[in-house]
Structure 1
Amino acid sequence: MHTSRAAAVLLAVLSMWGATAHAAPALPAAGACPEIPLAGADAAAVRTPSAADAWGGARGGSEATLSNRVVAYSIDAELDPVKHTIKGKQALTWRNRSAQPVCSVYLHLYLNGFEGHGSTFMTEQRASESGFRSDVDTKDGEYGYIRLDKVAQGGAAAKWRFVQPDGGPKTDRSVVRIDLPQPVAPGASTTLDIDFFDQLPRVVARTGYYGSFHLVAQWFPKIGVLELPGERGATAPRWNAHEFHLHSEFYADFGSYDVRITVPRGYTVGSTGVPKAAPVEKGGKVTHNYVQDDVHDFAWTADKRYAKPMTQVWNGPNGPVQVSVLYTPEYASNAKPVLQATIDSLKYFSDTLGGYPYKSATAVIPPYGADEAGGMEYPTFFTADSTAQDEPGTPGRFALDFVTVHEFGHGYFYGILASNEFEEPYLDEGMNEYWDQRMMTARKQDIVLTKPWMQLYGIGTRIAPFEMERLGASLGDPADPLGGNSWERLSSGSYNTVYTRTATAMRQIEALVGTPAMERAMKLYYARWKFRHPSTADLQAALAEGTGRADIVDAAFDAFIYGTGKVDDRVSSIKSEEILPLPGYRDYKGQRVLVGGKQIDKAIDALREKWKKAHPKAKAWEGAFPYRSIVVVRRDGLAVPQTLRVKFADGSQRDMAVTGSGSWQRFVFVGPAKAVSAQLDPDDNIRLDSDELNDSRTAEANGDAARRWFRDFAMLLQSLFALLATV
């Protein structure tokens, strides 16, 4: 394009952009309905439990539908795989659950997060100090967007404008306000007829294209959530529709989807839900019709390079589940492990939380070059990892299995429990990570950092799943509360602790209350909040009730979920000495007699000699005099429940409760044997201790600490790999 011509076009575009971004709202008729505010830009962990009847009340299983359905989407979508575009039409039916009329609704247009560097998503990506996922740099011609071409209600055109609920740049267009021609009465429903157009980006942040591969996610206009009093801390009706942030994911109402996907002949399609009917071919194109009820999102994939899907039926407590794995030929070796990990996950999550409620589970292994599409979840549909399949126990195989387990697990925490990933991301990412690693632990699937032949000679470094989490959790310098929202974070690295530190904190609660109590509490949480939208306070209440240890649960939430508590107790010193007679005045036959140092020494030697003759087989530590042992514990962080175990030379040990709330506590022991070691947290209950190397001390130097330091260093390296695989 000629330079002057390009400049003119740019000015025209900027002019239109400004007009669109700053257009005055179209107001309803005076008195038609009160304005409903948006959730605040600082919204985060909710401290007030939801009402018992929130979201229609707990789903006991006798209801006609799994969820209290609020929305219904009927969508027609046609993919142009050459231009990587989608032409879409949708009928969006929404029910007003509130007791007041609604004149405006808010829609998410997530794809606009990738339309250019003026979006909130890309603005935050540029500002991120520690990067984001694989940090793919979107170049000219690789951006994506979603365009509204028509919004109508009952045949009448609606007006709209872009808004920035979180105070992001005015150039962000990820949230749009629709002013309705007709208010929606309390309890009534309305249907919006929407025409839209997608330009998919080169695959970035879990959506887009790479060659003929298309992962179509975050792709349709999606209505925000109208929260009512008693739901997630709301005291009056409010819209919850945040901008698409770098680390935010999603939050939406449950409903039904009926989606018709048209692709060229020869393309394989995988999708949320199950086929409604056989595909229909016409004019070289094939239309696939998928349906799914009681979910809050919908995604799909299409590629002409997919091999024949690998499938298996799993017979679960709620009937048969069709399990499918889609993959391209270069990752054929990954298909079987991903299939098996998915089936194992179906059983584990059904057994430990509740029966899988859907009829399908589809895993997609992205092709080579499309790594950014890996590791993402949607209802009944997720993308796994494209790490080359390796031998069991190796880091590569652990990544393949763990990412599969992790993304499937989101189907419970993001999908069925449906927490608000904008405001309380740890409720999905962190709680899911915790339950995933419990499954990997039950599988006995540690990471081995040495080759199999080395293990034959006893050379090996094994990393247990929760040790990997602990070492990647920034326990020594927690910058943000776990319950913070997804966008107000010091860095991407701090956001990553939403995974690792949450898993570690929950593991600590489990260690303190006992595994049976924690499992009972998690089943209660799931049963009470499935197909609803629990908050932090709702999780806290369920854990407190289910474990019967509100003291432990509440203390942990105050310290780590709502705060940035740090734990660092250490054994600062240990010493033992014989209790010997000392020089000074003594009472002897009614007189005060001075006993000097030389006399004392002579008497001590005599007593020792006499004792040795009487005990010729005594051990080196045994003697004529008792020992006084002193252990000092320093406390540089929170006063968590703690145990000190002191071992003595005669093989005995003493467990002492560390109860001091100050910065130190001294323990004194008197007995026939000297103390040889002191160990804090001997049963490994305090998972959030920032430095386990200083938890123990011996009276004499040994090499245990150095060996442990090497192991921890190796584990830290592995934790970095795991974070990349799961973010």
Structure 2
Amino acid sequence: MQPRRSTLFPAALAALAALAAAVVLAQDAPAAKAPATPATPDIPFAPANAAAVRTPSAPGAWGGPRTGTEATLSDRVASYRIDATLDPLRHTIEARQQLTWRNRSALTVRSVYLHLYLNAHRNENSTFYTEERNGGESFRSGLDAGPEKYGYTELRAVRQGGRAVPWRYVQPDGGPATDRTVVRFDLPEPVAPGASTTLDIAFFDQLPRVTVRTGYFDTFHLVAQWFPKIGVLELPGERGATAVRWNVHEYHAESEYYADFGHYDVRLTVPKGYTVGATGQLQGQPVERGGLVTHHYVQGDVHDFAWTADSRTAPPLRATWRGGPHPVEVTVLFPPEYRSNAQPVLQAALDSLDYFTRTLGPYPYRTVTAVIPPYNGREASGMEYPTFFTADSVSDPARDTLGGMALDFVTIHEFGHGYFQGILASNEFEEPMLDEGLNEFWNQRMLRERGQKLHATTSLLRRLGFAPAFDVFDGERASLALAEPADPLGENAWLRLEGVGPVYARTAVMMRDLEAQLGKDVMERAMRTYYQRWKFRHPSIADLQATLAEVSGQAALVNTVFEQQVYAAQPVDDRIADFSSDEVLPQPGYAGANVNVTDEAAEEQAEAARRRWQDQHPDARPGTGPFPWRTAVVLRRRGAAVPQTLVVTFADGSRETVQWQGQERWRRFEWVKPVRAVSAQLDPERKHLLDANKLDDGRTLAADASATRRWTLDLGTIVQTLLALLATL
């Protein structure tokens, strides 16, 4: 997903939630059929404040690494058969779902929990809108869709083996009692360890006007997070769990999703004339009956299913990618007004298949579908689902350099989620860094390899010859509050002072800095290992850390970076506090033969020595002479200790390079040489972009206009970043 605008809100406030619950109790009374005082759950929830995991998962977690010899790509836990019919005039869906779920635990399961994500849009008293309201920020553009922004999922019937299943709504994170995004089913027939059960669920969706990831605009429908989806039962040794637990958080304003792998067999019925795109592969030709057309899609080894239907879609653009172990059919669906966007989106998707396959591992599926939402439907852009994503749009990518770059980036970003969110299936509730952050890092690496840079210019300025370009990671850096980061990167999605946005850029810069220290080849080898080891499982931050430490062979460095930036939020701020280079001159006082040399006499001796030396060396360089020079550099540290390099350059072109590896708050380096120093540079290879101020990394002993130029470049980067955000959000 693309980040929303600046989001600043506290966690759900219990008192306000209780008040809101009292006000709307009558209208929001759940349609449950459970006892008024149900039994205490025998399997607990993951903690409401769960965040970065510190303990690596057990080797056999999630069934152990997938070797490729198994019958299926993933250890399928939850499988879905869904028949759904769209009414595009009322923007509703009638559906029946058969959910088969396997109990992986050693405990008998008497109740299961499912997500009803669409109920976040039921009214303003959901956890989602309560947090958004208390935080004072709305999703992305802040589009006011009025009453059309509301939608919901209604459970019509739930049965297990023909017996009615009672249900009630719960709030695992202590959110408002009116939140209906998590439902508990109390099973008439408990599920024994290792056994499976099937639930038959009839449900109805009222889609909202698309303002947050899902919904409709006019004839366009993006149908996502639309069906009852079972939560994840985690076992001891998986993502830090020490006992069996349900990981099934409410739908928070800043969070996304987490689900088990399974098999999806979905029939989508829409009116004739509507173009459909969806997760997975179309099975045969659509079947028409009575003015309605049924499209049948199947996909195994995924953990979600999304689809689109629109009567205005232009003829799709298609291509076949053959750079992997099997062909991949790539499809771009687009409205007529964005025909110029289709080819760039297709090319970026094909290039992404090349890059991610080469640098991480083969793409395991046989389809990729990209959807460009229509004009006025951009709130649906920039979202990811297995084998299916929505791209962005610009008016004219061929003429608009900035817009074309944004179009490429969003396409690459959403495709990349197919790896970090789709195949690796990290927990986006609790550890968004593993998806949004790592994906952003890998996206920028790809753009850098393509030679793409950020251009802070317009078409008019470009014609005038003004077209400054910046490295993509400098653009990420410019968007951050480097001096005072508020939230650890490993914090969960909803307990953040600055919102989830900094997870994208700060993780990308942190990983880029770590790569600068480990080396490009080492980082790629470590990330390939991470992908191979954890694909079709659910890694934690601790699993990423352990893999990086093991493969790089630099555990101390990796662990230090994670302690400083992932489990804490320490700024990096090293600088050159003082820089001097002075002649070592004769000094006043008693000298040989007990002669008391005065200040004036010492100065006269020094000047005479200089004249003699100049007569003997008429072509001498400035900064040389009869006396040696003492050069001193004082470094100061205001933040976390990071390994630093200092390079001092002297008048004769020679250099002194030293390392600062300690934990001290300051350090002085001195040299006595026959030449004067001319410059000192901290971090000459720019390994630390997290440093709050790169301008104080360099000093010269003569006037130097480069700082002014660098201020201009930094300002240009900031302007570019703001423009890019406007273009992509």
Residue 191 of structure 2 corresponds to which residue in structure 1? 184
**In 1, Cα distance between the equivalents of 2:360 and 2:726?**
27
C-alpha distance in 1 between matches for 2:722 and 2:31:
43
Name stretches of at least 5 consecutive residues in structure 1 with no aligned partner: 1-9
Match of 1:412 in 2: 419
Residue correspondence of structure 1 range 26-425 to structure 2 within 5 A:
35-129=42-136, 131-391=138-398, 394-425=401-432
**Alpha-carbon RMSD:** 1.9
Shift of 1:618: 1.6
5+ unaligned residues in a row in structure 2: which ranges?
Answer: 1-20
Write the distance in 1 (CA, Å) between the matches of 2:609 and 2:327.
82
- DSSP-derived class of the 2:511 partner: helix
CA deviation map 1:296-340 (0-9, x unaligned) = 000000000000000001113221110000000000000000000
The aligned residue for residue 601 of structure 2 is: 599
1:509-520 map, 5 Å: 509-520=514-525
Task: Check whether the contact 1:21–1:163 (CA below 8 A) recurs between aligned residues.
Answer: no
TM-score by length of 1: 0.95
Flag the 1:13–1:575 CA change in 2: closer, same or farther, 3 A. closer
User: What is the CA–CA distance in structure 1 between the aligned matches of 2:33 and 2:664, rounded to whole Å?
Assistant: 56
- What letter is aligned with 1:151? V
Decide which of 528, 534, 550 is 2:555's aligned counterpart: 550
CA contact (8 A) 1:394 1:447 kept: no
Is 1:17 matched up with 2:28? yes
1:56 counterpart letter in structure 2: G
Q: Which moved more, 1:163-172 or 1:449-458?
A: 449-458
Aligned-pair distance for 1:128? 2.5
2 CA distance for matches of 1:22 and 1:598? 102
TM-score by length of 2: 0.94
* More relative contact order, 1 or 2 (CA 8 Å, 6+ apart): 2
* Local SS of the residue matching 1:436: helix
2:212 alignment partner, SS class? coil
Paired amino acid for 1:564: A
Query: SS state of the match for residue 92, structure 1?
Result: strand
The DSSP-based 3-state class of the residue aligned with 1:140 is: helix
CA distance in 1 between counterparts of 2:307 and 2:74 reads 22
Distance 2:442 2:350 in 1: 16
Aligned equivalents of 1:252 and 1:18: distance in 2? 27
Please give the per-residue CA displacement for 1:120-144, whole angstroms capped at 9, x wherever unaligned.
1111111224543111224123311
Q: Aligned partners of 2:578 and 2:57: how far apart in 1?
A: 49
Identity %: 58
Task: Using the TM superposition, give the Cα deviation of residue 562 of structure 1 relative to its aligned residue in structure 2, in angstroms.
Answer: 0.4
Matched, 1:656 2:658: yes
Q: Call closer, same or farther: CA 1:256–1:378 in 2, change over 3 Å.
A: same
- Aligned residue in 1 for 2:466: 459
Contact 1:680 1:695 (C-alpha < 8 Å) held by counterparts: yes
Question: What per-residue deviation string (whole Å, max 9, x for no partner) do you get for residues 503-528 of structure 1?
Answer: 00000110001111100000000000
Mapped to 1, the partners of 2:286 and 2:275 lie a distance apart of 11
- Distance (whole Å) between structure 2 residues aligned to residue 620 and residue 392 of structure 1: 51
Provide the C-alpha distance between the structure 2 equivalents of 1:306 and 1:462, rounded to a whole number of angstroms: 36
Which position in structure 1 is the counterpart of 2:582? 577
- How far did residue 205 of structure 1 move? 1.3
User: Deviation string for 1:422-472 (max 9, x for gaps)?
Assistant: 000110000000001000000001122235675577632102111111111
What's the CA shift string for 1:563-594, capped at 9, x where partnerless?
00110001112112111101101232xxx221
Deviation at 1:491, TM superposition (A): 3.2
How many angstroms apart in 1 are the aligned matches of 2:36 and 2:679?
A: 72
Query: 1:393 Cα shift?
Result: 8.0
2:121 touches 2:149 (CA, 8 Å); kept in 1? no
Q: Is the 8 A contact 1:578 1:628 kept in 2?
A: yes
Farther off after superposition, 217-226 or 137-146: 137-146
Q: Residue 45 of structure 1 contacts residue 536 of structure 1 at CA under 8 Å; is this kept in 2?
A: yes
Work out which of the residue numbers 637, 640, 664 in structure 2 matches 1:638.
640
Work out whether residues 82 and 267 of structure 2, in 8 Å CA contact, stay in contact via their aligned partners in 1.
Answer: yes
Distance 1:389 1:550 in 2: 48
Query: For 2:149 and 2:538, how far apart are their aligned partners in 1?
Result: 35
The CA distance in 2 between the partners of 1:418 and 1:310, in whole Å, is: 29
- Aligned counterpart in structure 2 of residue 565 of structure 1, from 559, 564, 570: 570
The 8 Å contact of residues 403 and 725 in structure 1, kept in 2 or not, is answered as: no
Q: Which amino acid aligns with 2:26?
A: S
In the alignment, does 2:710 pair up with 1:703?
no
Name the residue aligned to 2:623. Answer: 621
- The partner residue of 1:436 within 443, 447, 450 is 443
- Give SS of 2:210's match: coil
Change (3 A) 1:453 1:141: closer
Deviation at 1:723, TM superposition (A): 4.4
Q: Secondary structure at the match of 2:118?
A: helix
Deviation of residue 20 (structure 1)?
Answer: 5.6
Partner of 2:4: none
**Separation in 2, partners of 1:170, 1:24:** 17
Give the equivalent residue in structure 2 for 1:530: 535
- Separation of aligned partners in 2, 1:543 and 1:125: 36
Q: Is the 8 A contact 2:97 2:201 kept in 1?
A: yes
**2:222 counterpart SS class:** strand
Deviation for aligned residue 1:669: 1.6
Structure 1 residues 264-303: Cα deviation after superposition (integer angstroms, max 9, x where no partner): 0000000000111210000000000000000000000000
CA distance in 2, matches of 1:196, 1:653: 73
| 1:682 alignment counterpart | 684
Aligned residue-pair number:
709
Distance in structure 2 (CA, Å) of the matches to 1:249 and 1:191: 26
Shift in Å, 1:34: 7.3
Change (3 A) 1:123 1:22: farther
Shift in Å at residue 112 of structure 1? 0.5
CA contact (8 A) 1:110 1:244 kept: yes
What SS does the aligned partner of 1:625 have? strand
Asked if the contact 1:405/1:436 (under 8 Å) is kept, the reply is yes
Letter in 2 for 1:352: T
Q: Secondary structure at the match of 2:626?
A: coil
**Alpha-carbon separation, structure 2, partners of 1:113 and 1:294:** 27
Rounded Cα–Cα distance in structure 2 between residues aligned with 1:602 and 1:496: 65
Equivalent-residue separation in structure 2 for 1:480 and 1:649 (angstroms): 45
The CA distance in 1 between the partners of 2:83 and 2:22, in whole Å, is: 35
Give me the whole-angstrom Cα distance separating, in 2, the residues matched to 1:407 and 1:386.
13
Contact 2:159-2:201 at 8 Å conserved across structures:
yes
Task: Verify the 8 A CA contact 2:400 2:459 in the aligned structure 1.
Answer: no
1:391 to 1:440, Cα distance in 2 relative to 1, 3 A: same
- Match of residue 509 from structure 2: 504
- The answer on whether the counterparts of 1:129 and 1:491 sit within 8 Å (CA) in structure 2 is no
Provide the C-alpha distance between the structure 2 equivalents of 1:142 and 1:199, rounded to a whole number of angstroms: 10
